[in-house]
Structure 1
Amino acid sequence: MDLDIRRLRYFVAVAEESSFVRAAARLYMTQPALSRQIRALEDDLGVALFARDRQGTVLTRAGRQLLEDARPMLAASVALEQRVRTAARAENQFTVGFMPGVVVTPIVREFSRMAPDLRVDVVHTSITDQVDYLLDGRVDVCFVRLPLPPGTFKVVPLFPEPRVAALSREHPLARRKAVGIDDLRDVPLLQAPEDVPEWRGSAFSSPAAPGRDLSSLPVTIEECLEAVASGAGFHVMPAGMADFYRRPDVEYLTLDGVAPRMVALAYMEHRTMPELQRFSEISRRMLGPAPD
């Protein structure tokens, strides 16, 4: 059996936070997705790693042993990946990470024109793995949706992106062009409550309400939209992603009363490539706020 390094990292976060909720926030992923990964790790090992009591989530004896061994293993694996990727990468290669809903082609084209000696590659990422791509060196720079873990990345804010509500086309509210978050208080929220703190739905109407099992919630955007289309509830997502994931059985409504998500450019703080600064300047000029 081969241990999954990413699952080990998730395990260490839960162990250090003594909470799936806090660990999910720290990892910038949903609690259902985190719970599934920990459950898969436990299945691989054939042991229970956590127990729940009145104090919260606590490590079992097997969990304490794994935590002791996992920390140095993770540190070694990160250092190994970075050394190998750096050694293998051609000196003239520059890799850009992007995600659905953020149009980067004009930026990449302009950057390539200004740096003709570089081979510029573009790699697809998502909100759930954008941090991993930056940490392990698969990309030099990445367009991200904030927040990111503090103290690790150089972040260049670009623009605030409004969020929309995805509803089944059959839902009565879908006939509107816009809704307020309070209009959806009786509609089940198909994501973790911390993703939409402005929502004040009643506990009985939400599968993501306190005390409910969040592991049954959809995880990927495709799963979320299937659940929305079936009439199971609504999902809040960035407007750019809604443009990317158009489908005939889902309506995207302008959503009032929720904070936008900031789209930014990010790269590892310790990186000193001059190309990073050049790419940042082009991105800020093309996507950033207009000068005063």
Structure 2
Amino acid sequence: MDLDLRKVGYFVTVAELLHFGRAAERLHIAQPVLSRQIRALEKDLDAELFVRDGHGVTLTAAGRQLLDDARTLLASADATRRRVHRAARGPRRLVVGFRAGVVVTHALRAFGAAHPDVEVKARRVEWDDQEQLILDGTVDLAYVRRPIREQGLTLLPLFTEERVAMLPADHRLAGKQELALADLDGETWLRYSDPRPEDLPIRTIEEKFECVAAGTGITLVPQSVAEQYSRPDITYVPVPDAQPDQVFLAWEAGRRSPLIAAFAEVAQARG
């Protein structure tokens, strides 16, 4: 059976909105056409994907399973197109993502020396897009930190590092040599994910600086961030009993690229 990705894309839109009319509007197609495409997909899969009744549209068990898989499938297809187009425009290229604090210079230089015919680029990724940029082909692989949405990814553990408290320079604990987590009981912590509707998510290290310096809250960051980023209104204090931060090299699980394998070998050797 050949799975029509266009139909799968239609299915995802309906599944997200649970409304054929609104889905048709978003897709800029007529609702009857959309309904026929979904029925054709159900026939292709020999499974009912939606329950349609007077109360609206809901996903069946098969529909929920397809939705779980479909986003990764579509992202993989988009990534393949992106890589093919990139290859058609010029020389071979490897794009390596990295989180703030992770130094990739040595690995990039070592890889470039061994593969002088490959153009190597680095791009910073953030906690909320690190997986998506790999899956959609924007980067070929990336140095990522937990938490990680692992679906569709291969993860290679590289190293761990201690975490430190990022505090305003005038904080009551700013002068300490080190802290325990218990010392931070009662502090207000910055919110990263699942913000309240009126909040904007904190994405970058620069945004963390602004929030901490303004007294909005405190946070824990990897030791490497403390070593590379400094401001006079920010101070760092080690927290030895905090769970260490772990760095992984991640790439799309379905890819069998010699360049990715070669870079992974270099990255692992350099820790």
**TM-score normalised by structure 1 residue count:** 0.63
Distance verdict in 2 for CA 1:233–1:123, change over 3 Å: closer
- SS of the residue corresponding to residue 243 of structure 2 reads coil
What amino acid maps onto 2:153 in structure 1? Answer: F
Native 8 Å contact 2:162 2:240 kept in 1:
no
Distance apart, 1:133 and its partner CA: 0.9
In 2: Cα distance, 1:248 partner to 1:63 partner:
56
Q: Quote the offset at 1:268 in angstroms.
A: 1.0
Which region of structure 1 is more displaced relative to structure 2, 270-279 or 219-228? 219-228
Equivalent pair of 1:190/1:218 in contact (CA under 8 Å): no
1:1-292 maps to which residues of 2 (within 5 A)? 71=67, 74=71, 77-78=74-75, 80-90=77-87, 92-191=92-191, 213=196, 216=199, 219-220=202-203, 221-287=205-271
Post-superposition offset of 1:75 = 6.6
Measured in 2, the distance between the counterparts of 1:192 and 1:86 equals 31
Q: Is the 8 A contact 1:218 1:227 kept in 2?
A: no
Report the RMSD for the aligned CA atoms in angstroms.
Answer: 3.4
What percent identity do the matched residue pairs reach? 30
* Counterparts in 2 of 1:115 and 1:121: CA distance versus 1, 3 Å: same
Aligned length: 215
Secondary structure (helix, strand or coil) at the match of 2:150 reads coil
CA 1:75/1:254 → structure 2, altered by over 3 Å: closer, same or farther?
closer
**Runs of at least 5 residues in structure 1 that lack an aligned partner in the other structure:** 16-44, 46-60, 195-207, 288-292
Displacement of 1:191 in angstroms is 2.7
Q: 1:62: how far off?
A: 8.9
After superposing on structure 2, the runs of 4+ consecutive aligned residues of structure 1 that deviate more than 6 Å are 61-65
Note closer, same or farther for the CA distance 1:183–1:217 as it changes in structure 2 (3 Å cut): farther
1:159 Cα deviation (Å)? Answer: 0.6
Distance 1:236 1:266 in 2: 23
Find the residue that maps to 1:116 and give its secondary structure: coil
**2:128 maps to amino acid:** T
Task: Point out where structure 2 has 5 or more consecutive residues left out of the alignment.
Answer: 1-8, 18-25, 27-54
Matched to 1:97, the amino acid is G
